[in-house]
Structure 1
Amino acid sequence: MFQKTRSQLILAYVAVLTVILSVFTIAVRFTFTRSLNQQLNLRLSNLAKAAAFNMDNEDGELETDEDEILVGQAQAIEWFDLEGERVGQQGEYELDFPLDIEQLSESQNHPDSIRSVAIPVYSLEDETELIGYVRVSQSLTELDNTLRRLDYGLGSGIAISLLLSGVGSIWLTRRAMQPIEESFARLKQFTADASHELRSPLMAIRTNADVALKYPEGMRDTDAEKLTAISSASDQMTRLTENLLLLARSDRVSKLQTKVINLRLILSDLIQLHKSQIEEKKLTYRQQLEADLFVLGDEILLKQLFNNLLQNAIHYTATDGVITLEAQKNNQNSITVKVRDTGIGIAPEHLDQIFERFWRVDKSRSYQTGKSGLGLAIVREIIQLHRGNIFVESQLGIGSCFIVHLPVKVSQY
């Protein structure tokens, strides 16, 4: 029962950790990338300033001293005249893009992963006299490789962290859910014991009330009304205790008492059982039942399952409405049963709640209608025990359709 809750908690833990690690990874990569870029720009800028001192104008000709500066393997220094023509170069890194005099910048990326810094050069004798330009460039391959290794490291760290957190969350979830499951097990046991013990006194109350009503001689009219109310209330409480006992037992079922059952016979018997109610409300009944609908399951539980669905359809369908029962074999592995009505329908926001225990659309009328809100909860429990599924299609004022899928063979727990 708690498997779905445990799975949701584990997914929630992993999802939260994934978000945290993702934000952390993005922040680390952004900070690290920005720091590397700033360091690279600073190195290129300093190298460009040093190269500017090695360029001078001698008698109207530009001269460069290309031997005093150490250039890295992936770096290049270029000197240009005022027209942007290259007059000197240092380094083995060959560059083939021209200098853009109109757009000098401290840092500029070029094709083939190259970053360059270009600055103007002024005469050593007259600092206001512009004599040319110097450009320092460096390949970004090393930077890209560093960032790629960082990405691999961060990605591997996230994957390992999520794996370990997944294992840890399983352990933590089990520890966290253990007291809840134990408390729920005690509650189920109490519910089963209380329901079992209440059956006898409720039966005694109902029997005595019915006997008194059977022999009304000397009874006042008001006494008859009170005894009728007592009988009706005891009948409702009896049904409630029976449903609670059934739910408590189904929660503890480990193996079904399975045998080969023909669902067509079960459905036909249930229709005969409710025929008087259908006729009393002047409902139209239609059916489309295939001949051989054999399934391996618990006969008592399956009768309870479809009995609840039919009772639900009859109860919520107004006079002159239509109830349709369809059953067909999809393939060799599953059978589909549809219980369709033209009743009041279910609001879309309530579709996820109708299978919850004690849930009703109008709780104020539960005593008047005799509905405890356990019928559909029992339906879901029985279907889960048979490893099947149930879906609901409904529209307010138009009706509802409960679609049950049952496997032909039930896998044991």
Structure 2
Amino acid sequence: MFRQIRYRLLLSYLLVFASLLGIFAIAVRVVFTRSLTKQTTGKLIAIGQGAATNVEFESGRLTIESDFRPQDLIARQQALQWFDTQGNLIAQQGQTVLTLPLLPSKIVQIQTGKVPIQGVVVPIISSDNGKLVGYVRVSQSLEEFDETLQKLDWGLGGGIIMTLVLSGIGGILLTRQAMQPIEESFQRLKQFTADASHELRSPLMAIKINADLALEYPEEIGPKDVEKFQAITSATNQMTRLTEDLLFLARTDKIPNHNWDTLNLRSILENLVLLYKPQAEAKRIQLLSQLTENLYLKGDLVQLTRLFTNLIENALYYTPSSGVVEIKTSHVGSQLYVKVQDTGVGIAPDHIDKVFERFWRADQSRSYWEGGSGLGLAIAQAIAQNHNGLISVTSQLGVGSCFTVRLSTNAEIMN
């Protein structure tokens, strides 16, 4: 149980931490990408402005005197293109050129493909009259840009993975250290419950014996005293059942699975049906069973018998006269399913999640009956979990309830 809690705490911690790291990484990447894009665009604009100053407009024609060497442009994976005011290409240098049509209104152009290219359009203004005489478009390959972002992604991804691994190791140590006092307190509480329940057995037995002895001679104690001793006997029986149930819960998980036997669940259920048949008939309840073959599993006979005893008793108590209690079994893969269904008072939807809590009760769906301890369903759930199984319940007020037990044929004890 505590191991599962530690795992859930560790998983929750890692999920939260991973989410924070992911948000941080995304923020870093967005800021870095924008900064790098702005830097690249600014560099291209500066080159374009330099190329525009070396253009002269004479006799209605552009004369280009570029100071940029083609070898340098090729080495930097850049290119220059000059256009007139109608967008006609006049000259170009370099190999990494945009093939897109010139769009003067769009300063930055991106060409996708095998080699992505970014272009920047800079207007050419005549130094004589300040009129627009043409355009220069500077382009550059984005391979280096993409490689830089890829390195950033690998760095951020590797950093997140390393951080999560180290955090996981630290989280294991921290959760273990944090849960240790709780586990110790829980074990001390269980030990106290077991010791207290064990010590209560003797005085309760003494009270019961003396009360029963007095009831054997009613003529010597008088009618009023007989009622008092009967009340004492009834209370003692309930206290005895309560201490036995508490002791059972405290010791349930101490039965090692290597002492388990191969059991026939069908045989266990058939014996319980025979045992409770008279009680059902006395209450005019039909106790039916549909049991399949090959219901074999590893488990503890006493515990499993107690599990289904509690469920059958619970069904018989809350089912009125002329009702039906039915036990059905099925075998799916390595899982065995046992359904105990009744036509009883049912359980309110708000109480479904509480029926397996210890000592919990509601006005109609649950209450103590004579000899009951209020721990029956809690014990049944503990036994199922101890056999690597689970109990679920569906119910409807005034219609009935169905408790479904799922057990594994190769169950291993759960701590």
Aligned residue identity for 1:34: R
Contact 1:321 1:342 in 2 (8 A): yes
- 1:84-123 equivalent positions in 2, closer than 5 A: 84-101=87-104, 103-105=105-107, 107-112=108-113, 113-123=116-126
Shift of the 371–141 alpha-carbon distance from structure 1 to 2, 3 Å rule, reads: farther
Task: Give CA deviations for 1:348-407 in whole Å, capped at 9, x if unaligned.
Answer: 454444333333344997456654432122112222333334333333332222222334
In structure 1, what is the equivalent of residue 65 of structure 2?
A: 65
Contact 1:366 1:372 in 2 (8 A): no
Q: How far apart are 1:65 and its partner, in Å?
A: 1.1
Question: 1: distance between equivalents of 2:216 and 2:109?
Answer: 103
Contact 1:122 1:131 in 2 (8 A): yes
Q: How far apart are 1:277 and its partner, in Å?
A: 2.7
2:307 to 295, 298, 305: 305
Contact 1:390 1:405 in 2 (8 A): yes
Contact 2:277 2:287 in 1 (8 A): no
- 1:14-413 equivalent positions in 2, closer than 5 A: 14-68=14-68, 71=73, 73-101=76-104, 103-105=105-107, 107-112=108-113, 113-127=116-130, 129-217=131-219, 219=221, 221-255=223-257, 257-290=259-292, 293-330=295-332, 333-362=334-363, 366-367=367-368, 371-411=372-412
Question: 1: distance between equivalents of 2:365 and 2:382?
Answer: 26
Contact 1:56 1:131 in 2 (8 A): no
- Alignment identity in percent? 50
In structure 2, what is the equivalent of residue 11 of structure 1?
A: 11
**SS in structure 2 at match of 1:312:** helix
Contact 2:257 2:412 in 1 (8 A): no
Question: 1: distance between equivalents of 2:160 and 2:349?
Answer: 40
Shift of the 109–401 alpha-carbon distance from structure 1 to 2, 3 Å rule, reads: same
Contact 1:342 1:400 in 2 (8 A): yes
Q: How far apart are 1:81 and its partner, in Å?
A: 0.8
Structure 2 unaligned residues grouped into runs of 5+: none
Question: 2: distance between equivalents of 1:78 and 1:262?
Answer: 88
Question: 2: distance between equivalents of 1:149 and 1:82?
Answer: 41
What is the number of residues matched between the two proteins?
Answer: 409
Shift of the 137–279 alpha-carbon distance from structure 1 to 2, 3 Å rule, reads: same
Q: How far apart are 1:411 and its partner, in Å?
A: 4.3
Shift of the 313–136 alpha-carbon distance from structure 1 to 2, 3 Å rule, reads: same
Question: 1: distance between equivalents of 2:303 and 2:359?
Answer: 20
Q: How far apart are 1:265 and its partner, in Å?
A: 3.2
Task: Give CA deviations for 1:238-258 in whole Å, capped at 9, x if unaligned.
Answer: 111100101111132334643
Question: 2: distance between equivalents of 1:166 and 1:347?
Answer: 42
Task: Give CA deviations for 1:102-159 in whole Å, capped at 9, x if unaligned.
Answer: x232x232333222211221111222x2111111111212111111121122112222
Shift of the 369–166 alpha-carbon distance from structure 1 to 2, 3 Å rule, reads: farther
Q: How far apart are 1:344 and its partner, in Å?
A: 2.6
Question: 1: distance between equivalents of 2:177 and 2:376?
Answer: 33
Please give the TM-score of this superposition, normalised by the length of structure 1.
Answer: 0.90
Task: Give CA deviations for 1:216-249 in whole Å, capped at 9, x if unaligned.
Answer: 3265554444333322222111111100101111
Shift of the 379–138 alpha-carbon distance from structure 1 to 2, 3 Å rule, reads: same
Question: 2: distance between equivalents of 1:172 and 1:157?
Answer: 22
Aligned residue identity for 1:358: F
Question: 2: distance between equivalents of 1:63 and 1:114?
Answer: 27
Question: Aligned Cα RMSD in Å?
Answer: 2.6
Question: 1: distance between equivalents of 2:374 and 2:226?
Answer: 29
Question: 2: distance between equivalents of 1:410 and 1:140?
Answer: 60
Structure 1 stretch displaced more, 142-151 or 283-292? 283-292
Task: Give CA deviations for 1:268-307 in whole Å, capped at 9, x if unaligned.
Answer: 3322332343123221111122465444432211211111
Q: How far apart are 1:197 and its partner, in Å?
A: 0.6
Structure 1 unaligned residues grouped into runs of 5+: none
Question: 2: distance between equivalents of 1:256 and 1:212?
Answer: 47
Question: 2: distance between equivalents of 1:79 and 1:235?
Answer: 104
Shift of the 329–23 alpha-carbon distance from structure 1 to 2, 3 Å rule, reads: closer
Q: How far apart are 1:53 and its partner, in Å?
A: 0.4
Aligned residue identity for 2:255: V
Shift of the 363–165 alpha-carbon distance from structure 1 to 2, 3 Å rule, reads: farther
Question: 1: distance between equivalents of 2:305 and 2:258?
Answer: 14
Question: 2: distance between equivalents of 1:409 and 1:57?
Answer: 91
Shift of the 161–185 alpha-carbon distance from structure 1 to 2, 3 Å rule, reads: same
Shift of the 95–279 alpha-carbon distance from structure 1 to 2, 3 Å rule, reads: same
